Amino acid sequence: MSQKVRTAVIPAAGLGTRFLPASKAVPKEMLPIVDVPTIQLVVEEAAAAGIEQVVVVNGRNKSAIEDHFDHAYELENILESRGKSEMVAELRKIANIAQIVSVRQKQALGLGHAIACAHPAVGDEPVAILLADDLFDGGENPGIGQLIKAYGECGGAGVVAVMEVPEGQEHKYGIVDGELDERGFWKVTGLVEKPAPGTAPSRLAIIGRYVLPPEIWPALETTKTGHGGGIQLTDAMVSLIDGPGLYAIPIEGNRYDAGDKIGFLHANLAFALKRDDLREPLLALMKKMLDEA
């Protein structure tokens, strides 16, 4: 029987080097998709899936993220005095999406280490993990909601979201090997973080959403340095295979890699095209640009 998943962890301590200079003084998780910071989209996804508490693992420049999920009384008062009460209501909602707790990763020792920093805040419970570079849309229950549902059906085993990536792209991801069951879940038999080109066991790539049982906590403590000199979450998950088990779940909906420049632009266009106020003028602009290109 699997325990209820109450807490999510969002690692946000990376240096964001791919988005310099924008990420020099602002965490890359605050860069907007149209006018909403990527981390807000991810916190909303977690809250929509029933998560009550979100632990954000911060590095430097953490105050922008904390401030974003807090009340901004001065700004709210100024907007109120200008009659912009709709905007004020929207800002107030952000502070109430979920209970946000911040912890600090004092050294950049890898994704697995970042998650381990959240252990005291989460406790010995199962945990949902959402990487803010991966954005999802589409469907009633996007991203982590599908995994939380699958976790409830897997008897205490961990679950991780996967997608088939084109051949030649495997080295950018954690790759799973497994056997497909009658539910359409892959029972994981092996995992490798960013395999060298030509060595991947499959094209099933981990795409930034996980629900892991409490057994992940001691596993993270003993995981040795792996790919790129960091402590890798993928390596810690290997020990779940012979313990409570691990399933890879193909996720429905669209996924955007907002950690990559083209993926970030794609997410901006896709999210803007879903908005009634932007769709028509943006399509007209895109047509004009294509004609001129």
Please report, as ranges, the residues that interact with ligand G1P according to CB under 6 A: 111, 131, 133-134, 173-174, 193, 205-208, 233-234, 259
Q: Which is nearer to ligand G1P, 200 or 205 (CB)?
A: 205
Q: Which is nearer to ligand G1P, 152 or 263 (CB)?
A: 263
* Smallest distance, ligand G1P to C-beta of residue 111, A: 5
* Smallest distance, ligand G1P to C-beta of residue 70, A: 27
Q: Which is nearer to ligand G1P, 88 or 237 (CB)?
A: 237
54 Cβ contact list (under 8 Å, min separation 6): 7, 8, 9, 10, 43, 46, 47, 98, 99, 100, 101
Tell me which amino acid residue 94 is: I
Assigned token pair, 19 = 């988005």
Beta strands in the chain (DSSP E): 7-12, 32-33, 36-37, 53-58, 99-104, 127-130, 134-137, 158-164, 174-180, 186-193, 204-212, 246-250, 254-257
Q: Which is nearer to ligand G1P, 62 or 209 (CB)?
A: 209
* Smallest distance, ligand G1P to C-beta of residue 256, A: 11
Give the residue at shortest CB distance from ligand G1P.
174
C-alpha distances in Å from residue 71, one per residue of 76, 89, 166, 243, 268: 8, 11, 43, 43, 26
Q: Which is nearer to ligand G1P, 133 or 215 (CB)?
A: 133
* Smallest distance, ligand G1P to C-beta of residue 151, A: 18
Q: Which is nearer to ligand G1P, 29 or 133 (CB)?
A: 133
Label the pairing between strands 186-193 and 204-212.
Answer: unpaired
* Smallest distance, ligand G1P to C-beta of residue 66, A: 22
Q: Which is nearer to ligand G1P, 215 or 235 (CB)?
A: 235
SS3 121: helix
* Smallest distance, ligand G1P to C-beta of residue 205, A: 5
Buried b (16+ CB within 10 A) or exposed e, 87-102: ebeebeebeebbebeb
Assigned token pair, 187 = 């029972």
The continuous run of DSSP H or E covering 90 comes out as helix 85-94
* CB count in 10 Å sphere of residue 86: 9
* Smallest distance, ligand G1P to C-beta of residue 223, A: 12
